[in-house]
């Protein structure tokens, strides 16, 4: 075999384990889900194979699902904005700090060593009726009765921000770290204040990282069911909770499949729209 042909094959050989895993663990199950979504759940609880549109009809027309979907997107959007506002300064601080970047990044990764569920449940110990905050406030005599702080939309967003902030910081950090620091010096020497230099130079150049972090936060936030399950109230269900409810609780696989495909379609469409702009931002970065 010629060298050229061996070299042409090499990328495929290197890719094949990952492609096999994705095919077996993602595409094959996805096809099952698509097939399931057209089955019918009968009154007896058995699933009737076939091509029925009942699940899709219910998922697409029932305003209950639509409202929860919109609410899910709203919560994900708020979470993403909060992550961006909180994460950008932190990423900037890490990127511009001298010498100890590795330690700061390690500290940032530290929460990932603890299960996401445990991290989420830790808020119960902090904000719960007998949690840290209430205990301290009662001990200080500021309140007599414990405050009800948990199980609402705010705590869901709080939990999501807690979960997703490192993703945002890492993405923004990577793009900030790649920006030549002399660019800000150059802007300042030409008459721009620190803030003007940041707005004119650093911020636009870091937008690809902010966009990537934002997309990741939004998609992960919109697809979560553990945070609303642990920290949300009865009315704070997000869309993934409906899928969980249908499949795990009601064992209604056909409806659960249709709902999960619906969420996948909405998020997929958002990713595609986003990618157009992200792609442009990458192009801008490529110019640098």
Partner 1 sequence: MVENVRARPEGLLTPETRFPAAVAAGKSSSPETGIVSSVTLSDIVKRFEAFTAVHKTSLEIPEGNFVTLLGPSGCGKTTTLRMVAGLLDPTEGEILIKGRKVNDVPIHKRNLGLVFQNYALFPHKTIAENVAFGLKYRGVSKQDARKRVQGALELVQLPGVGDRYPKQLSGGQQQRIALARAIVIEPDVLLLDEPLSALDANLREDMRVELKRIQERIGVTTIFVTHDQSEALAMSDQIVVMSAGRVEQVGAPEDVYNTPASEFVANFLGASNILPARCVGRDGDAAVLETETFGRVPVPAAKAPNVSGEGPAKLVVRAEKLQLSPREAPADGVVAVDATVEAVDYQGQAVRYFVRAGDRHLQAINMIDERPFAEGAPVSLRLRPRDCAALPVS
**Nearby residues of 134 by Cβ (< 8 Å), 6 or more positions away:** 127, 128, 143, 146, 147, 149
Q: Which of 27, 66, 185, 271 binds partner 1 (CB under 8 A)?
A: 185
User: What DSSP character marks residue 247?
Assistant: I
Of 113, 48, 99, the residue nearest 254 (C-alpha):
48
Q: Which of 3, 18, 43, 287 binds partner 1 (CB under 8 A)?
A: 287
Tokens at 54, concatenated = 């009942």
State in angstroms the smallest separation of the CB of 274 from partner 1: 20
Is residue 201 within 8 Å of 129, Cβ to Cβ? Answer: no
Residues 191-210 that bind partner 1 (CB under 8 A): 191-194, 196-197, 200-201, 204-205
Tell me how far apart the alpha carbons of residues 217 and 172 are, in angstroms, rounded to a whole number: 12
How many chain residues are in contact with partner 1, going by CB under 8 A?
A: 24
250 touches partner 1 by CB under 8 A: no
State in angstroms the smallest separation of the CB of 169 from partner 1: 23
Q: Which of 186, 265, 271, 273 binds partner 1 (CB under 8 A)?
A: 186
Q: Which residues pair with 48 in a beta bridge?
A: 40
- Whose tokens are 């007998």? That residue is 130
State in angstroms the smallest separation of the CB of 202 from partner 1: 10
Of 209, 238, 234, 214, the residue nearest 225 (C-alpha):
238
Vertex 25, ends 248 and 70: CA angle to 5°?
50
Neighbours of 164 (CB within 10 A): 25
Q: Which is nearer to partner 1, 1 or 287 (CB)?
A: 287
Q: Which is nearer to partner 1, 50 or 288 (CB)?
A: 288
Neighbours of 225 (CB within 10 A): 18
State in angstroms the smallest separation of the CB of 284 from partner 1: 5
Q: Which is nearer to partner 1, 27 or 277 (CB)?
A: 277
Residues 3-32 that bind partner 1 (CB under 8 A): none
Tokens at 282, concatenated = 């990458």
The pattern of x and - marking residues 89 through 128 that bind partner 1 according to CB under 8 A reads ----------------------------------------
| Residues making contact with partner 1 (CB under 8 A) | 180, 182-183, 185-194, 196-197, 200-201, 204-205, 284-288
């Amino acid at each position: 075999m010629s060298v050229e042909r061996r070299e042409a094959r090499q990328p495929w050989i290197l890719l094949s384990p990952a492609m096999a895993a994705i095919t077996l663990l993602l595409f094959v199950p996805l096809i099952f889900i698509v097939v399931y979504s057209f089955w019918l759940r009968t009154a007896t609880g058995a699933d009737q194979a076939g091509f029925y549109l009942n699940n899709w009809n219910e998922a697409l027309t029932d305003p209950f699902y639509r409202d929860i979907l919109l609410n899910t997107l709203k919560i994900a959007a708020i979470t993403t904005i909060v992550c961006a506002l909180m994460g950008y300064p932190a990423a900037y601080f890490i990127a511009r700090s001298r010498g100890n970047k590795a330690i700061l990044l390690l500290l940032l990764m530290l929460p990932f060593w603890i299960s996401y569920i445990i991290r989420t449940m830790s808020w119960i110990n902090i904000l719960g009726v007998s949690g840290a905050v209430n205990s301290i406030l009662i001990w200080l005599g500021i309140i007599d009765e414990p405050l009800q702080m948990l199980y609402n939309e705010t705590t869901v967003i709080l939990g999501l921000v807690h979960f997703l902030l490192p993703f945002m910081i890492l993405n923004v950090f990577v793009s900030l770290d790649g920006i030549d620091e002399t660019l800000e010096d150059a802007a300042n020497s030409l008459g721009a204040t620190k803030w003007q230099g940041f707005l004119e130079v650093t911020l636009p150049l870091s937008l690809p990282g902010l966009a990537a972090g934002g997309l990741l936060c939004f998609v992960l936030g919109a697809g979560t069911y553990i945070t609303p399950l642990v920290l949300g109230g009865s009315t704070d269900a997000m869309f993934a909770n409906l899928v969980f409810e249908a499949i795990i609780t009601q064992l209604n696989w056909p409806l659960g499949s249709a709902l999960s495909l619906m969420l996948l379609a909405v998020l997929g469409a958002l990713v595609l729209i986003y990618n157009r702009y992200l792609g442009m931002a990458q192009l801008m970065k490529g110019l640098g």
